A and B are shown apart, each in its own frame.
Chain A
């Protein structure tokens, strides 16, 4: 079983739609959680961190459920520019002084007119 699992999609949605991505992780000692965005042939870039209390950044809402080891990302009012691969990322530092990022497979989103 992979340490971080995501539904690879692809998700094809019209502009204005709401879309939700889910992710599960297996290492209960994981300390921090993120969503990254990766455009085609580009590097991953941090979209937002994920906190247990939930956090929102404009049209994007991230949630973390530590008990279920489950992370979600909700995108409201989808834009064409949201088309990308969304990567669920877990910091599985495991007591080290640095963070080793573990990435999910990525979920492909295509927003169409």
Chain B
């Protein structure tokens, strides 16, 4: 499809395991965002890329979280030494240029459960 694609859709990780979550934004979209959504909460901002540049990583909760977008297209969110509090849905979103709200598109998310 032409939407934002995320994989895996579901991931169960043992505590202490490293995980990598992938996002394929809509082709040609300059801006890419990662959000974390805990159960019963709204999404919370993690990080923002403009092309390959990570312009804002203020929302990353700890240094165990790392995101990259090396070629300005596909992005990967990596979580090292996962903890139970990392269990959440990780949403990727993209927009054509900058942000206007009307043009931001979310993927269906990667559901992470840490056991």
Inside 8 A of B33's CB, which chain A residues have their CB? 101
Q: Which of B35, B42, B101 contacts A99 (CB 8 A)?
A: B101
A sample of 20 more A-B contacts (CB under 8 A), given A98-B98, A103-B43, A106-B42, is A42-B108, A43-B106, A43-B108, A44-B91, A49-B102, A89-B101, A93-B99, A98-B31, A98-B48, A98-B99, A99-B98, A99-B99, A99-B101, A99-B104, A101-B35, A101-B43, A101-B101, A105-B40, A105-B41, A106-B41
Q: Is B50 an interface residue (CB 8 A)?
A: yes
A49 touches B42 (CB 8 A): no
Interface residues on B, range: 20 to 34
A103 contacts B101, C-beta separation under 8 Å: no
Q: List 9 A-B contacts (CB under 8 A).
A: A46-B101, A98-B55, A98-B56, A101-B35, A101-B45, A101-B101, A103-B35, A103-B42, A103-B43
Interface residues, chain A, with chain B CB atoms under 8 Å away? 4, 8, 32, 34, 42-46, 49, 87, 89, 91, 93, 96-106
Q: Which residues of B contact A (CB under 8 A)?
A: 31, 33, 35, 40-45, 48, 50, 55-56, 91, 98-102, 104, 106-109
Instruction: Contact check, A44 vs B43: say whether CB atoms are below 8 A apart.
Output: yes
In whole angstroms, how far apart are the Cα atoms of A73 and B47 in the complex?
29
Which residues of A sit under 8 angstroms from B41, Cβ to Cβ? Answer: 105-106
By the criterion CB–CB under 8 Å, are B48 and A101 in contact? no
- Give the one of B40, B48, B99, B108 with max A CB within 10 A: B99
Q: How far is the CB of B96 from chain A (nearest CB, A)?
A: 12
Cross-chain contact of B104 among A4, A46, A93 (Cβ < 8 A) = A46
Pairwise interchain contact B48-A100, C-beta atoms closer than 8 A: yes
- The reply to whether A43 and B45 form a contact with Cβ atoms under 8 Å apart is no
Q: How many angstroms from the CA of A8 to the CA of B39 in the assembled complex?
A: 13
